[in-house]
Chain A
Amino acid sequence: MSEEYLPDNDGRFGVYGGRYVAETLVPALDELAKQYKFIKKDKNFSEEFRNDLIHYVGRPSPLYFAKRWTEQLGGAKVYLKREDLNHTGAHKINNTVGQILLAKHMGKKRIIAETGAGQHGVASATVAARHGLDCVVYMGEEDIKRQSLNVFRMKLLGAEVVGVNSGTRTLKDAMNEAMRDWVTNVDDTYYIIGSVAGPHPYPEIVRDFNSVVGEEVIEQSKNEIGKNPDVLIACVGGGSNALGLFYPFIKSKEVRLIGVEAGGLGLSTGKHAAPLSDGKEGVLHGMRTYLMQDESGQILETHSVSAGLDYPGVGPEHSWLKDTGRAEYVVADDEEALDAFRELTKIEGIMPALETAHGLAYVKKLAPTMKSDQTIVVNVSGRGDKDINTVAAIEGIEL
């Protein structure tokens, strides 16, 4: 686990973060924070977590030099951190493997989770199956349509998938519904939040469990590059894969950290999911952070071709990293992401998730401007099998 940094004792990253929830949940969050603090220092827990990461998840994931893509881009060397090779096909499993141990330690019998693209839902259903716990996954009806493959996977894993019909019927509404479930069943239920979002201590817990990604990159870079990479790039929805990669590097000031938000149909159209690039501070889902909202404080509908980035908020630590200037945030729109999706598939034989493709789209822009002795590491946060229906539909193909 990484060394102590932020949040402070109130769960704050600067002004961001905190714990804006109904009173019923405050004692549950207090208890979670207390138990997490304990378990974080517990040797048995660390050992079990490490062991599961190696033998169940399949870590470490490779740091792969994308030789042909690098040659085509004609600039910096591009390395791919292959989180797509993890069990269940994305970085999301790192967090759920950790949180399920926490849930068991706390004696909880029932797991709930929210999901957008379905990757976190699958990762939660997977660890619940392995530990024999009941699992309910909340998912917006809109996302259920977009991600039918993952819905079926979750059902095969024994989870109940509950469609959410309120609001925009996407990830944010799934999170509202999971919160409502939690507040009702708080005694026996553990809520596995899937991103570095939500009330304290979730942003810290999810970051810590994902930071194995960045820790491995530090070691792998030493061996393969001989030094730290110059630039780290990751897509940002809630921001868990990005923080997992960035966090262990925050103190290494020479490394540029670049998060790529979903530009949707373009920032100027308003139809996007880029709160850091085009939003303002507010409170949603228990945290203070950058949000997409109107002047009356209503949360705006978002748009992205990728369900996993289709979220109007972002983890509070990203808001803080933006304000302090430690990380930079840019956007890639739907078109650019789809181009990068096709390009990486063809040139490296690696089909990335559409979420990941946003990060790759920015690699395409940045790499040619850099020198050949410089390196970029981009987090391939997930694999793209789940997205083939979406991509086929865009190409007018019926599968």
Chain B
Amino acid sequence: MKRIKKKFDELSSNDSKALITYIVAGDPDLDTTFNIMNCMVEEGADIIEIGIPFSDPMAEGVSIQKGHERALLNKTSIKDALNLVSKFRNLNKTTPVVFMGYMNTFESMGVKELCKAAADQGVDGLLIVDMPHEESNEFSSEAENNGIDVIRLIAPTTDISRARQICDLSSGYIYYISVKGITGSNDLDSEDVRQKVNLLGSATDLPIAIGFGIKDSDSALSVKDLADGIVAGSVFVDLIGEGGDTIRKIANKTKELYLAIK
């Protein structure tokens, strides 16, 4: 069974929600990313999304933009991220890893080659932010051929008929963007999210994760009952940007979110 499905099945049989955490590969360097991944798993992360650095991350707020910039100072590429996952898989065979990023870097090594390498190194899913389903034929078929899930975004602006189309083409989980805006936004409206996610639940059997605007136990609590998982990213990338005892700070934050939703 695919790792992502297995993870959500396990969580659901324990009546538990998924904590999905995001950091950028190579921010500030690949060794630190590797250590953070292991630390996050240790403190309760269920799935790890690895941001693939891009020079022009259009959908990101300032926090994650800076993470991409720091990672690019060492020229971290998608190939480096694949090696990172390979190293992570030597220690961890169960925690799903998803690559999240932008079309241009994902295409840079060839769609077919990327999907094959991702499967070989132990990547479980791809989430390409600027790839609406109309532009996704090649990635969809190559990912499927290699047993990789394609995680897709649904936004507050997506109407239900389009949401159904997206759900039908998705695998792994659905990523519901909780606010109109960029990553790290502040104004999460849990009532609005509740209505949208309820509607989505009727359109798919896939698990639904909620992301954008979740940064502490309060915001995590406010949405945890609405879906099958939460995604937190900017808050971790900010902690990396602050420097200091990064690993300890990330461990504390992961634990805070874990305790809030379990």
Contacts and interface: CB of A to CB of B under 8 A. Distances in A.
A283 B104 contact: yes
B104 A299 contact: yes
B59 A20 contact: no
Most chain-B Cβ atoms within 10 A of its Cβ — which of A23, A166, A285?
A: A23
Interface in B46-105: 53-62, 65, 69, 72, 75, 77-79, 102-105
Interface string A10-47: 10000000111111111110000000000000000000
A111 B61 CA distance: 21
B168 interface: no
- Secondary structure dominating the interface of A: mixed
B182 A183 contact: yes
Contact of B130 (A166, A186, A283, A299): A283
Interface string B99-139: 00011111110000000000000000000011110110000
B108 A176 contact: no
A282 interface: yes
B198 interface: no
A279 to B, nearest CB: 12
Contacts of A172: 56
Contacts of B105: 296-298
A71 B108 CA distance: 50
B220 interface: no
B156 interface: yes
Contacts, number: 119
Contacts of B134: 10, 18-19
A147 interface: no
- Secondary structure dominating the interface of B: loop
B147 interface: no
Contacts of A179: 58-59
B104 A26 contact: no
Interface in B122-166: 129-132, 134-135, 152-159, 162, 166
A284 interface: yes
Interface in A276-331: 282-286, 291, 293, 295-299
A299 to B, nearest CB: 4
Given A21-B130, A23-B177, A296 B75 contact: yes
A180 interface: yes
27 contacts: A21-B130, A22-B153, A23-B154, A23-B158, A23-B166, A24-B59, A24-B153, A24-B181, A26-B162, A173-B56, A180-B59, A180-B61, A180-B182, A183-B59, A185-B180, A283-B104, A285-B58, A286-B130, A296-B75, A296-B78, A296-B79, A297-B106, A297-B107, A298-B53, A298-B54, A298-B72, A299-B55
Interface of A: 10, 18-28, 166-167, 172-173, 176, 179-180, 183-187, 282-286, 291, 293, 295-299
